[in-house]
Structure 1
Amino acid sequence: MDEDLRERIRREAETNALFNALKHDSDAQVGAILGPLMGANPEFREHGDEVSGVVAPVVNEVNALDEAEKRARLEELAPERLKELDAEDEGEEHPLPDLPNAEEYDEVRMRCAPNPNGPWHLGHARMPAVIGTYKERYDGWMLVRFDDTDPETKRPDLDAYDDILADIDYLGFEPDEVVTASDRMETYYEHARELIGLGGAYTCSCSGESFSELKNAGEACPHREKNPGVVRDEFEAMIDGEYESGEMVLRVKTDIEHKNPALRDFVAFRMVDTPHPREEASDYRCWPMLDFQSGIDDHLLGITHIIRGIDLQDSAKRQAFVYDYFGWEYPEVVHWGHVQVDAYDVKMSTSTIKQKIEAGELDGWDDPRAPTLKSVRRRGIRGQAIVDAMVELGTSTSDVDLAMSSIYANNRDLIDEETPRAFLVRNGFAPRADDADADYAATELPVAGGPDAAHPPVHPNHEERGERDIPVGDAVLVETADLPDAGERVWLKGYGPVRYDGDSLTYTDDDIDVVREEGVDVIHWVPAEGSVPVRLRRTDGDVYGYAEPGYADYEPDDLVQFVRVGFARYDRADEDETVAYYAHQ
């Protein structure tokens, strides 16, 4: 790393550390600085192992300042960050705008309406995060409605119903009611019969191609003025399963000359030959389209506000025709753009993820490479970190990008103070992406002349949590890249200074000043004997290594911060190794 780059890292780290310390009215933490630093400066990432060594002394310098000195220094370095901080203190506008006309309703009632065709990817978290936050803000009501009336194209996954409810719980929300659309078929049929009686629907046996030609020309289908009695009889025959797929549909009468062809006489019910996977719904063959089913449910379940994608604007307009026939008032609607999450090679799509799992390219929905809620949960990332990041996106109609670094920064704030530290020496890398070129190697070195054991703190900010006891033995493992030139010194973290002669380490009994004043590097290590073999599962590949002996006492779901490596969740102990899932730096 050249000196210009080192100085840039120092300056950015100082700015972030000052902001972090002032925002939280506490000492800045190296872990809380590294994520945003790397996210905002991608060019730093290739020097990841060296960056923490530059950042740590900067953080110590910042923490030595009093509040007035911190404010003065931040104003000098980045006055706009100080203004941002002051704006937060004065109470910035909430990232979620007020719901339209919320004050006109006795209760704000919103629905999260997932299609249970698979577990949720990260993008799906936006809906429950925002609706759940609005529920808390307005002391409202939240429905989870499984829109599972497409047994063929978006075929429901029987496990997904429970998986999605588990994901909502992981995000920190509890629905007031859970409804499954395929349990409500008779309700949809009754409203279709009523709509036919109102002259608002007709059965149509046109082929899709021929109707499309008529629709685009603004011409009425020849079945449009069919006798209502015939329409009723044919719809009952649809319900009885007397037609095959594509043979007959029920259409809602709209405006055949409407300027938007997509709104002209849309399909409300169609025939599907494929049985529904739920046994309770497997006998039905006449299924409602989503616009009809969802529109009926929104009214009957008292929904006051709907949030949906900007690409679904036509849905509200189609449903408005049905509401007009029934004399209902349409709910308030908020449209938003799509969200795209960075840092993943796998497309954020349920069908794509499912295909990769079936092809053996992913181990499952919780594979660390998968952009799913199951995956980030297994990595030890708190649901609240995702919710906070999603809420910060607001409800703009523009498409938005969500940086995983934002989720990581939120999670770091949530877990840093409670997470114990441990050492992990990396020794081997199994690439899981074509461009993964990281490599790790450990070197075993005899050590002589120092204490028999090291006693680093369980947590550097909490002396009351005690110390870890790490026996040194006759030799230690260090990462080869950390070794200095022969004759130079390094500081084994928690143990002390040693001199490297090219083959071994000798304790020197120097003071800690050699780190601050002479630039001696501080490195992590583990004893060569008794350390715990670890496979650390990451998004870009599995890293192998050895953790300090105490890691053998951890249990599943325990979190640890591997010093200079990052946060990880203990997953399980296999016969030959312990498996942990990497969260972030």
Structure 2
Amino acid sequence: MDDSLREQVERAAEKHALFNAVKHESDAAVGAVMGPLMGENPSFREHGDEVPGVVGGVCGRVNQMDHAEKRERLGELAPELLAELDSEDEGEQHTLPDLDNAEAYDQVRMRCAPNPNGPWHVGHARMPAVIGTYKERYDGWFCVRFDDTDPETKRPDLDAYDGILEDIEYLGFEPDEVLKASDRLETYYEHARELIEMGGAYTCSCPQGEFSDLKNSGQACPHRGKDAETTMAEFEEMVAGEYSSGEMVLRVKTDIEHKNPALRDWVAFRMIDTPHPRPEAEEYRCWPMLDFQSGIDDHLVGITHIIRGIDLQDSAKRQQFVYDYFGWEYPEVVHWGHVQVDAYDVKMSTSTLKELIDAGELDGWDDPRAPTIKSLRRRGIRGEAIVESMIELGTSTSNVDLAMSSVYSKNRDLIDDGADRQFLVRDGTELGIVGGAPEFGEPPVHPDHEDRGVREIPVSSAVLLEPKDLPEREERVWLKGLGCFRFTRDALQYTGDDISAVREEGVDVVHWVPAEDNEPVELWTMDGVVEGYAEPGVRDQPVDTMVQFERVGFARVDAHDEDGSVAYFAHE
């Protein structure tokens, strides 16, 4: 690179380095500068091996300035960029950080890549929540790609494909495209053949333990030197299913002395005897490993940004070898820590949940005790509440904790206004009513909306109270919507006192239901099924409606039958 070109690179790089540093109020990063720099200056690309070094020097100088100096200098070099930043500051604020180099692409394209081996647990919601939010922010594109190329260890569940798409819709997002990796075997085979032809892969029949010993000692296996013709012939035999499981693999030729043994000549294809559960794929026996399949697909569908767990950092490094062979540019990567969810006694694991369901310890994937998205949905938790809580976790590389109390708080804000109030008495104690009490209780449908009127609850001759609400002898109690009573002998004597007994004398206000004209209710909770009785109006609440059982909590009406009603507890 001559001096004239170096000066051009430095001038252009300084502008982008200042923009990056001011925007994020942090040091300028070489990687964040390279994308827009090279996109704006195609003539720099032929010097791609030298440009990063020049950019590094520019970033170093920029990072020695304080924030005010950076702003001032950016205003001198590119006032339009400073104005753009100031305009952003006045606009919408985002919890999620901006995606690196998003402006360098015509369209931000992301993917959600679930393994359909069972219904999603709560932690799975984080990926579509974040990707869907980024799509909306950048007017981007995202696909759901089912990474279902392991028909044995993580065997796909045929119901999970549609179930996962339903979960994503429930969270409020719709993918632009849906792909199944098991439909794309021929595509992976074609790329494997190309890789073999360019000398980037070889077939290996070493026993796993034997290869592991060689790999860990930095020694090449005896098959590494095969010519492309032999490798191709043996790979075609793999494709034809002529080997058994464990008998032959195809390896990507990397660096057998790489400092990280996990990156040395990794497996791209292996043989699996177990047929795939999808009829369209059941004949295949030669299956790609996830790093090969995912890497190929990310390029072919034009993925620009990948979000994956911090534990999968080696995936990008493995795939980079394949990308280098093909001359492809690797997408931007965001690594994040795992999300851990409180409030559950059951482990967030598909296999563990399946075992508990098969053993009858959980009543299906939507049991309230199961930490699954299906369970939250059946309990009446809005997808929006989950998404907002997941977004607040950000994209930190550290493990993060999702407090379900946060989800419940957001859900309460969403449903409170629309949830009619109802009475539900658990483990009720019957007390007679005497003294000329009103024939009907008339509590409000909703305390904040007088226009919605009152509920008429028949009283008859007795009511049910929860044991904790029973008054002492001669004490008064206010039955909500009905009036004031004194506990005398074995009955509640109507006193006729007005509301001042509550406001000025401290008489307790309790809920109640008629002892005769009531509705039996099963309330499914995270602690098991609770039996109780509700006011008769519960039966008029349509299925899937949210109600608030006063002094108990919010619940979703799940079913009505001749034996009573079923509701699923959401939260207090």
Which of the five TM-score ranges fits, normalised by the shorter chain?
0.7 to 0.9
1:335 is the counterpart of 2:321: no
Is the 2:343–2:403 contact (alpha carbons within 8 Å) kept by the matching residues of 1?
yes
Matching of residue 111 in structure 1 with residue 111 in structure 2: yes
Q: TM-score, normalised by structure 2?
A: 0.83
CA offset digits 1:534-570 (Å, max 9, x no partner): 0100010111111001112122101110000001111
Measured against aligned partners, the alpha-carbon deviations of 1:471-530 in whole angstroms (never above 9, x if no partner) come to 111111111210121111111111111111141111222222222222211100011121
1:47 counterpart residue number: none
- SS of residue matched to 2:211: helix
Q: Distance in 2 between matches of 1:167 and 1:574?
A: 28
Aligned to 1:484: 471
2:456 alignment partner in structure 1 = 469
Deviation at 1:90, TM superposition (A): 9.1
Tell me the residue number matched to 2:380. Answer: 380
Matched, 1:537 2:524: yes
Letter in 2 for 1:401: D
Query: Within 2, Cα distance between the matches of 1:511 and 1:554?
Result: 31
CA distance in 2, matches of 1:568, 1:303: 41
TM-score by length of 1: 0.81
Shift of 1:274: 0.2
Cα shift at 1:331: 0.2
Structure 2 CA distance, aligned partners of 1:549 and 1:341? 37
TM-superposed deviation, 1:169: 0.6
Structure 2 residue aligned with 1:198: 198
Larger displacement relative to structure 2 (330-339 or 441-450) = 441-450
CA distance in 2, matches of 1:524, 1:485: 16
Paired AA for residue 564 in structure 1:
R
Are 1:239 and 2:239 matched, yes or no? yes
Which residue, 520, 530, 537 being the options, matches 2:507? 520
Instruction: Describe how 1:439-478 pairs up with structure 2 within 5 A.
Output: 441-478=428-465
The letter for the 2-side match of 1:292 is F
Amino acid at match of 2:531: Y
Confirm whether residue 178 of structure 1 aligns to residue 165 of structure 2.
no
- Name 2:36's counterpart in structure 1: none
How many angstroms apart in 2 are the aligned matches of 1:538 and 1:502?
36
Identity %: 75
1:442/1:478 contact within 8 Å kept: yes
Query: Corresponding residue for 2:31?
Result: none
Q: Partners of 1:480 and 1:502 in 2: how far apart?
A: 17
Letter in 2 for 1:145: R
Query: Which stretch shows the higher mean deviation, 481-490 or 279-288?
Result: 481-490
- CA distance, structure 2, for counterparts of residue 245 and residue 193 of structure 1: 21
Listed as ranges, the matches of 1:219-298 within 5 Å are 219-298=219-298
Q: Is the alpha carbon distance of 1:128 and 1:220 closer, same or farther for their aligned partners in structure 2, counting shifts above 3 Å?
A: same
Give secondary structure in 2 for the equivalent of 1:518.
Answer: coil
CA–CA separation in structure 2 for the residues paired with 1:414 and 1:195: 53
Runs of 4+ in structure 1 off by over 4 angstroms are 89-93
> Aligned Cα RMSD in Å?
1.3
The Cα offsets for residues 321-359 of structure 1, whole Å up to 9 and x where unpaired, read as 000000000000000000111111110001100111111
- 1:506 maps to 2:508: no
Q: Is the 8 A contact 1:448 1:474 kept in 2?
A: no
Q: How many residues were matched structurally?
A: 484
1:21 matched to which residue of 2? none
3-state SS in 1 of match to 2:268: strand
- Paired AA for residue 182 in structure 1: S
Matches within 5 A, 1:309-388: 309-388=309-388
Residue 578 of structure 1: aligned partner? 565
For residues 64-85 of structure 1, the C-alpha deviation after alignment (integer angstroms, 9 at most, x for no partner) is xxxxxxxxxxxxxxxxxxxxxx
Aligned residues of 2:116 and 2:157 also touching (Cα < 8 A): yes
Q: Aligned residue for 1:65? A: none
Rg larger for = 2
Q: State the alpha-carbon separation in 2 of the partners of residues 282 and 491 from structure 1.
A: 68
For residues 216 and 365 of structure 1, the distance between their equivalents in structure 2, rounded to whole angstroms, comes to 42
| CA–CA separation in structure 1 for the residues paired with 2:429 and 2:491 | 14
Structure 1: give runs of 5+ residues left out of the alignment.
Answer: 1-88, 428-440
